[in-house]
Amino acid sequence: MGFSPRCVATAIGSFPHKDAGRACDLILKSLPEIPTWPQLPAIDFKEGMEIQYSEGLPRVTIDKAAQRMYFDTSGDPSTDLADFYERYLADDIEHFGISEEFSRGIYEMERRLAGGAARPMYFKSHVTGPVTMGLSRTDENKRAIYYNEVFRDVIVKGMEMKARWLLRRFASLGCPQICFIDEPILSAFGSSTYVSLERADVVGCLVEVVNAIHKEDALAGTHCCGNTEWTILIDAGVDIISFDAYQYGETIGYYPQQVKGFLEKGGVLAWGIVPSTQAIAGETPEALIARLRHLVAGLAAKGIDSDMIWDRCLLTPSCGTGSVAQASAEMVLAALSEVSRTLRGGP
């Protein structure tokens, strides 16, 4: 599936709104070409980044009082694991669906689009990446569940099925789809905190989810809102690399040959040029465009054709907006829309 966005914009998943309808209206107004459904953690902790994708996974325990989720691996989990793998092998995708209790945004966006909104050019969904899920959530002893190889595999396969469920959910739109695998924790790859994290294991986890997305004839992206070893994502076979270009824009140029090959094979860079922090208050679309042009010129100076960079340029906020005030989130999308509209007139 060829994808040349040429500065079309989309969003990273989270929004601070407590009204799902308002969040969806904002997205459809600001990003009509590639809308996404909003993750709304301010409504309920169950819409948080990992908890939202926990339904259907074995041995999940949700502590409502502490607003915490963990995996209870105590005793003999073999029966629960057997049920999980039977459903996975049977391709029981509906078992891994996300209910409205865990995502108002999916169902509200579905209603909005069914109600007569114009068919988008693409539609974007998102799942929490298996590495981020595995390292952020623990077992009953507060040990990261990633280091339990059995449950790491459960998480990988669970995220595969969540992605496929989402893509089938919105297949009725009749447009191509994108699914981002959100892996913010990869910004800590190679640090002392995760010194035991093996690169091959990380790539292997991502490959499985990417392949599942491709199985549904969709494009797979990976979002990391910090600096990381970007070749991990290239080696995992993603179609789109989404990064915080506002703060870490130069880092993509640390791997010029690999990035050049990625773009030449049809890969896309999603430049998160609009800050999703309070910094948005001090920015203008003109200043953000100038910053992006500078970054693209720097990448082109390393031997990558600038026309190809612009052809393969998708625009996003630097990260999700779920942690900022609603007014700031709306400023972010207004700026993003203006930057995209201006650049589409010619970079």
Q: Where in the chain are the domains?
A: 8-343
Q: What is the pLDDT of residue 192?
A: 66
Q: What is the pLDDT of residue 346?
A: 63
Q: What is the pLDDT of residue 347?
A: 60
Are 277 and 318 within 8 A, CB to CB? yes
Does 192 or 146 have the greater pLDDT score? 146
Strand 313-317 and strand 268-274: the pairing is parallel
Q: What is the pLDDT of residue 240?
A: 98
Share of the chain above pLDDT 70, in %: 99
CATH number of the 8-343 domain: 3.20.20.210
- 42-78 pLDDT, tens digit per residue, is 999 999 999 999 999 999 999 999 999 999 999 999 9
Q: What is the pLDDT of residue 1?
A: 59
Q: Is the dihedral of CA 53, 55, 59, 60 positive or negative?
A: positive
Share of the chain above pLDDT 90, in %: 93
- Residue 176: CB atoms within 10 A of its CB come to 16
HSE on the CB side for 117, CA within 13 Å? 23
Q: Is the dihedral of CA 269, 119, 177, 175 positive or negative?
A: negative
- 267-315 pLDDT, tens digit per residue, is 999 999 999 999 999 999 999 999 999 999 999 999 999 999 999 999 9
Are 48 and 41 within 8 A, CB to CB? yes
CA distance 110 to 96: 18
Are 235 and 259 within 8 A, CB to CB? no
Over range 252-272, report the average pLDDT: 98
- Residue 24: CB atoms within 10 A of its CB come to 27
> Does the pLDDT value for residue 345 go beyond 90?
no
Radius of gyration of the chain (CA): 19
Over range 34-47, report the average pLDDT: 97
> Does the pLDDT value for residue 254 go beyond 80?
yes
The answer, as to whether pTM is greater than 0.85, is yes
- 175-222 pLDDT, tens digit per residue, is 999 999 999 999 988 776 777 899 999 999 999 999 999 999 999 999
Q: pLDDT tier at 148 (50, 70, 90 boundaries)?
A: very high
Q: Which residues, listed in sequence order, are joined to residue 180 by a DSSP beta bridge?
A: 126, 221
Q: pLDDT tier at 237 (50, 70, 90 boundaries)?
A: very high
Look up residue 59 and give its two tokens. Answer: 């041995």
> Does the pLDDT value for residue 116 go beyond 80?
no
- Lowest-confidence segment of 100-109, 138-147, 187-196 by average pLDDT: 187-196
Mean pLDDT estimate for the chain: 96
Are 178 and 34 within 8 A, CB to CB? yes
Nearest to 240 by CA among 103, 69, 126, 70: 126
Q: How distant, in Å, are the alpha carbons of 64, 175, 306 from that of 41? A: 14, 28, 39
Q: pLDDT tier at 121 (50, 70, 90 boundaries)?
A: very high
Measured distance between the N- and C-terminal CA atoms of the chain, rounded to whole angstroms: 24
Are 55 and 145 within 8 A, CB to CB? no
Q: What is the pLDDT of residue 219?
A: 98
Q: What is the pLDDT of residue 23?
A: 98
Q: How distant, in Å, are the alpha carbons of 81, 89, 157, 166 from that of 86? A: 9, 5, 12, 20
